[in-house]
Structures are given as C-alpha cells and as structure tokens.
C-alpha cells in the first residue's frame, strides 16, 4: 500500500470530469466571533453531502467490477453514488441497527444494503466473508490508497487557491482526509500546519497518533462521521510523518460550532462537518489573528442533530 502526492494530482484530473471544485468562503460575522480569518471549505455541497464522494469517485473510475464495503454513513452513500455513476454493482454491509434513513439513501443510489452484525466491527467481518465468497473487491474505508488520493484533491484546491494559509483543521474518523491533507501540504505549502481533530469521546485516531501505533479505544461520540473505535494503519503511518498536531474536542463544542456555522456562515453542517471549527473555538489563543481553513466535511445532519441545534430557551 502506498500513497503519494502524484496520485492526488492524477485524482484531480479524474475528478474534474464529474465534480466541480467546491467553494471556499470567509464570513465576517464568523471571523469576528472567532477572532481569526476563517475560510470554510464547503465539502457539504457534493451530491452526497460529504467529501467522501471524491475518494469513491477516484477509486471506482478505474474499476471494472463490483465492490463490497462496510459503513454506517457517508462512505456508504459515496460508494453507492460513484458505483451508480459508473454502472457498477455495490454492496454495503451496515450494522443491523443502522439508521433506516441512511440505509434508504444508499439503496436510492441503487446499491444493495446488507444488514449484519451488532456494530461496525461485526459488519466489517461480514463484509470480508461476503467479498471472499463472491470474489468482489473489499474496500476498507480507511486503508485504501485510491480513497486518500481522491480526498487529497480537497487540499490541492485549498492550497492552490490560498498557499498563504497558516493552518488547515481537518476532522478525523479513520484519518484519510487528514493524512491526504498532510501529504499535499508537505508538497505545496510546507509552512501550513495541518491540525487533526477528533471527539474526546472517540479518540482512537488521536491516541494511535500520540502512542505511535494503531490502537482501539472506547467509541462513544454522538458525532457519526467521527465514530471510529480503532486507528487505521495507512493514514496513521502518514500522519506520523507529516501531521503538525492532533487535538480533541467535546461533543458539546462540536454542537456549538454547528450552531455557529448555521447562524454565521449560512451552512448546515453535520457534527463531523463542524468539528474543525470546534477545534478553533476550543483554543482561541492558538488561532487569534491567523488565517486558517476549516473543512466542513459534510452536511448530512440527522433529525436529532437538527433538533439539538435549537439552544435551550430561557427557563
């Protein structure tokens, strides 16, 4: 397994035929609230509402047969969407208790959903068996170089437009986005810090990076895109080499950032999509006066997330 900057350049050419570059805007009210110049990269504007569309598109653009994968959310939708685009079969294994709305969104792109296992780990085991039995390619959401190359195009767009940025903050689940960011920044803007952020309630990626080896950790965050119980080998290997820092924020801080994006940046973010801004809110001294990009990785907020955005009224 390897992943290089050259593969990001190639992915950019592949993706250009199917996805326009996403907008990146700065909002005066947001900047005043935060005390920094914040550029929001709008990955919530993809047809599946999340940045993972880029990775799936890049992976499947050269595929000639179907894939099997496992996911509870945006990876599943992205694989289903890109498979639909290229006319390829796609099977997604989801835990038996998966959100029915998410399963329906995956089926709507024509993919087959198999409900199996009590959690994502068990769904993964089932997907491994299914791939072996059917001879289809098993796609790991974290350890697949083509996915990293695809999502790396976000950072190619950001740093080509703004090579002067002092930092980019990237939310982490499996770490594909942050790892790709670190490699692209190393090439295009070595002075730009890549800062990864995860929920303190699901810290496997963070702890894997701090300890220097992929580990498993309790996985209790309510923020779906960040709910990972283990570190993934390929992203971790890259993060160890090139990442500037990795921070943790509370789920409540993430909800606060979601509210701020809604009120000051005209943006509906899901929790994971607001985590980068949460890291900036969490450490104002670190970011004061700087120009930083936060990646709004997705906008697929569930109905319970939407309800939680309403602050408690006066009692």
Ligand X SMILES: *Cc1c(COP(=O)(O)O)cnc(C)c1O
- With contacts defined by CB under 6 A, name the span among 26-34, 97-105, 158-166, 175-183 that binds ligand X: 175-183
> Minimal distance in Å, beta carbon 288 to ligand X?
26
Q: 94 in helix, strand or coil?
A: strand
Question: Quick one: which H or E segment has residue 121?
Answer: helix 120-134
Residue closer to ligand X, measured from CB, 95 or 177? 177
Return the biggest CA–CA distance within the chain.
60
- Identify the sign of the CA torsion 196, 200, 205, 209: positive
Bridge partners for 112 per DSSP: 91
**Using the rule CB under 6 A, is 150 a contact of ligand X?**
no
Secondary structure E strands in 27-120: 37-42, 67-70, 90-94, 112-115
Binding mask 124-143 for ligand X (x = CB under 6 A): --------------------
User: Can you read off the two tokens belonging to residue 159?
Assistant: 């740093």
> Minimal distance in Å, beta carbon 173 to ligand X?
3
> Minimal distance in Å, beta carbon 74 to ligand X?
3
**Using the rule CB under 6 A, is 273 a contact of ligand X?**
yes
> Minimal distance in Å, beta carbon 264 to ligand X?
20
Residue closer to ligand X, measured from CB, 117 or 225? 225
> Minimal distance in Å, beta carbon 280 to ligand X?
16
Contact 246, 239 (CB under 8 A): yes
Size of the site for ligand X (CB under 6 A): 16
Look at residues 174, 186, 112, 110 and name the one whose alpha carbon lies nearest to residue 147.
174
Report the distance separating Cα 1 and Cα 26, nearest Å.
Answer: 37
Q: 277 in helix, strand or coil?
A: helix
Q: Which of 117, 150, 171, 231 binds ligand X (CB under 6 A)?
A: 171
Q: Which of 95, 177, 214, 231 binds ligand X (CB under 6 A)?
A: 177
**Using the rule CB under 6 A, is 225 a contact of ligand X?**
yes
Contact 168, 178 (CB under 8 A): no
> Minimal distance in Å, beta carbon 228 to ligand X?
7
Q: Looking only at residues 11 through 50 of this chain, which bind ligand X when binding is defined by CB under 6 A?
A: 50
Give the binding site for ligand X (CB under 6 A).
50, 52, 74, 171-177, 225, 270, 272-273, 297-298
């Amino acid at each position: 397994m390897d992943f290089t900057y050259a593969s990001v350049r190639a992915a950019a050419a592949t993706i250009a035929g199917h996805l326009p570059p996403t907008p990146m805007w700065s909002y005066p009210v947001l900047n005043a609230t935060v005390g920094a110049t914040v550029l929001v990269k709008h990955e919530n504007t993809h047809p599946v509402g999340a940045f993972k569309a880029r990775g799936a598109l890049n992976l499947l653009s050269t595929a000639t047969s179907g894939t099997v994968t496992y996911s509870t959310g945006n990876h599943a939708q992205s694989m289903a969407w890109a498979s639909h685009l290229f006319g390829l079969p796609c099977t997604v294994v989801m835990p038996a208790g998966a959100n029915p709305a998410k399963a329906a969104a995956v089926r709507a792109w024509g993919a087959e959903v198999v409900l199996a296992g009590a959690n994502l780990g068990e769904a993964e085991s089932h997907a491994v068996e299914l791939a072996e039995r059917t001879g289809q390619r098993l796609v790991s959401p974290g350890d697949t170089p083509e996915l990293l190359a695809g999502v790396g195009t976000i950072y190619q767009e950001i740093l080509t437009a703004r090579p002067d940025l002092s930092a980019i903050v990237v939310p982490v689940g499996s770490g594909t986005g942050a790892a790709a960011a670190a490699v692209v920044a190393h090439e295009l803007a070595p002075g730009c810090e890549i800062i990864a952020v995860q929920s303190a309630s699901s810290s496997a990626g963070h702890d894997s990076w701090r300890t220097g080896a992929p580990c498993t950790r309790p996985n209790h965050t309510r923020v779906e895109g960040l709910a990972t119980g283990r570190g993934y080998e390929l992203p971790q290997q890259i993060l160890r080499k090139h990442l500037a820092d990795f921070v943790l924020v509370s789920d409540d801080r993430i909800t606060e950032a979601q509210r701020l994006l809604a009120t000051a940046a005209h943006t509906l973010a899901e929790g994971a999509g607001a985590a980068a801004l949460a890291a900036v809110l969490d450490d104002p001294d670190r970011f004061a006066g700087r120009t930083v990009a936060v990646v709004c990785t997705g906008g697929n907020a569930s109905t319970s997330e939407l309800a939680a955005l309403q602050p408690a009224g006066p009692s």
